[in-house]
Amino acid sequence: MLFLHHGTVWPRPGTSRFSNPVAAAMVERAEALLDGDQEALLATADAFDAWASSKPSARTIVLVGGDNAERGAAALADLGVAPMAPPLASRMTSER
């Protein structure tokens, strides 16, 4: 089955995890967030970049935290996107 999303025809979600490379990167990003795997997060940012998905890439870099968060925030600002709140782990650490 196919469906239309933003003018592009894609296989219906769930038919194949990797039928949409951007969706696959989002799933991998979620897994990396759950695992706390910063290297995997940076790899998903690269995957978004490979598919010209600048906003998800920049948001992912913000989620990595630290100096990367500043780099991601700058990229979001360059895109005209509102800033993100820092990741929860960063906020919890800075409040202690």
Phi, psi of 5 (to 5 degrees): -140, 120
The ranges assigned to domains in the chain are: 2-94
Residue 16 confidence (pLDDT) above 60: no
When pLDDT is averaged across residues 18-47 and rounded to a whole number, the result is: 87
Confidence of residue 89 (pLDDT cuts 50, 70, 90): low
Q: Where are the alpha helices (DSSP H) in 36-96?
A: 38-50, 54-64, 66-79, 88-94
Compute the residue count for the chain.
Answer: 96
Residue 93 confidence (pLDDT) above 90: no
